[in-house]
Structure formats: structure tokens, C-alpha cells
């Protein structure tokens, strides 16, 4: 059994923050799409939203990002933050973090780490979140037949709107340990 937690979810749901806490608690390595996508967007002198729209006509962008995640199936002790980690790493413990769109917009507007994603207001961030999510969902369904809106793909779904990252991480750890225990007999 692979010791991999794949995390996906809504933009602004706290995936990166929660993943960092999990990595520290479990001593796992962290691999995430956001850094790869932002680096590619910067290379093309685009925002991540513009890169998503560009990717609709240029599948090589998704291939560049996704090839990294496809190769992780043979690894272990990882936290993988990616929209399609659940799809590319089917034996992982799959977590979906959701959040209220207004909360997400506010979080993203205040996030100073998003250097190439600047918004003039929370409403502007919300519009961009919706557009980006729609673009990604459409692309992933067309490219891979992966339906990111079908929550049946996930072992755990948490609404992070009004929870601290620490409490979200604790919920994940608890469910992950239960999942590991129930699956440990399946590999022997």
C-alpha cells in the first residue's frame, strides 16, 4: 500500500497550508501542482487563469504538469496537492477540501504568496476562481474523462470554510490512519 495522501479541492480551501502541516506531522515529502503551474505561467508571462485558458488549446501544458504526478505511483510517504492526484494516484488516500466561494475569494485576495494572481477585490477573485475551476473541470473531463465534481472519488471531504488548518489536518490524519489500518490487510 502506498503511503500517499492526495489532496485536491476548491481554490482557496487551504490545500497548501494543510499539506504543509501534514508533511511536518508525518515527515512526508510535498509535491504540488500550484508551484509547477505558477512557474509555467511565469515562463509564458501569464496569470494562472490565462495559463488555464491557454491550456484548453495547448494540451502540452497539461501533459507537462501531469507527467510529474503520473510517475508518483511507485513512491511513498508523500503529500500530493494536485487537482488530479486522486485520478493519477488511485491507491492514495484521496481528500477533497471544499470551501464557501466568498471565503475562498477573501482568502485568495489576502494571500501574499500568489505573486502572479492579484485581484482588485474579493468579487474579482471570486469571478476568477469560478472561471479557473470551470476551465480546469472542462479540460480534465475532455483530456482524461476525469470528473472533478464527482465526490464519490474521494475517501474524505472536508468543508474548510470555518475550520483552522490545524483542525483540518487533524481530521485528515485521523481518517488516514483509519484508512491505513483497514487497508493494511489487503496487501498481505
Q: Look at the chain and report how many structural domains it folds into.
A: 1
What is the residue range of 31's domain? 4-178
Residue 16 lies in a domain: yes
Residue 156 lies in a domain: yes
Residue 58 lies in a domain: yes
Mean pLDDT score, 73-86: 88
Residue 187 lies in a domain: no
Per residue in 29-79, pLDDT tens?
998 887 788 888 999 999 887 887 888 888 888 888 878 777 787 788 999
Q: Which pTM does this prediction carry?
A: 0.81
98 or 108, which is more confident? 98
Q: What pLDDT is recorded for position 70?
A: 78
Residue 96 lies in a domain: yes
Residue 185 has pLDDT above 70, yes or no: no
Instruction: Give me the CATH number covering residue 69.
Output: 3.40.50.300
Residue 183 lies in a domain: no
Q: What pLDDT is recorded for position 181?
A: 93
Residue 53 lies in a domain: yes
Per residue in 107-150, pLDDT tens?
888 876 665 567 778 888 898 889 888 888 888 888 889 998 89
- CA distances in angstroms from 59 to 65, 66, 139, 144, listed in the order given: 10, 10, 9, 11
Residue 188 lies in a domain: no
Amino acid at each position: 500500500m502506498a503511503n500517499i495522501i492526495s489532496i485536491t479541492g476548491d481554490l482557496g480551501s487551504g490545500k497548501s497550508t494543510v499539506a504543509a502541516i501534514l508533511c511536518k506531522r508525518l515527515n512526508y515529502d510535498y509535491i504540488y501542482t500550484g508551484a509547477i503551474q505558477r512557474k509555467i505561467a511565469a515562463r509564458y508571462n501569464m496569470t494562472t487563469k490565462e495559463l488555464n485558458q491557454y491550456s484548453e488549446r495547448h494540451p502540452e501544458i497539461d501533459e507537462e504538469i501531469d507527467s510529474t504526478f503520473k510517475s508518483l505511483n511507485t513512491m511513498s510517504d508523500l503529500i500530493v496537492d494536485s487537482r488530479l492526484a486522486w485520478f493519477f494516484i488511485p491507491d492514495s488516500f484521496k481528500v477533497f477540501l471544499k470551501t464557501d466561494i466568498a471565503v475562498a475569494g477573501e482568502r485568495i485576495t489576502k494571500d501574499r504568496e500568489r505573486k502572479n494572481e492579484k485581484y482588485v477585490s474579493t468579487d474579482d477573485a471570486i469571478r476568477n476562481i469560478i472561471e479557473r475551476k470551470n476551465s480546469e473541470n472542462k479540460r480534465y473531463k475532455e483530456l482524461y474523462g476525469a470528473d472533478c465534481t464527482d465526490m464519490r472519488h474521494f475517501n474524505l471531504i472536508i468543508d474548510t470554510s470555518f475550520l483552522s488548518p490545524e483542525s483540518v489536518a487533524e481530521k485528515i490524519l485521523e481518517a488516514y490512519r483509519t484508512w491505513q489500518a483497514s487497508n493494511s490487510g489487503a496487501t498481505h
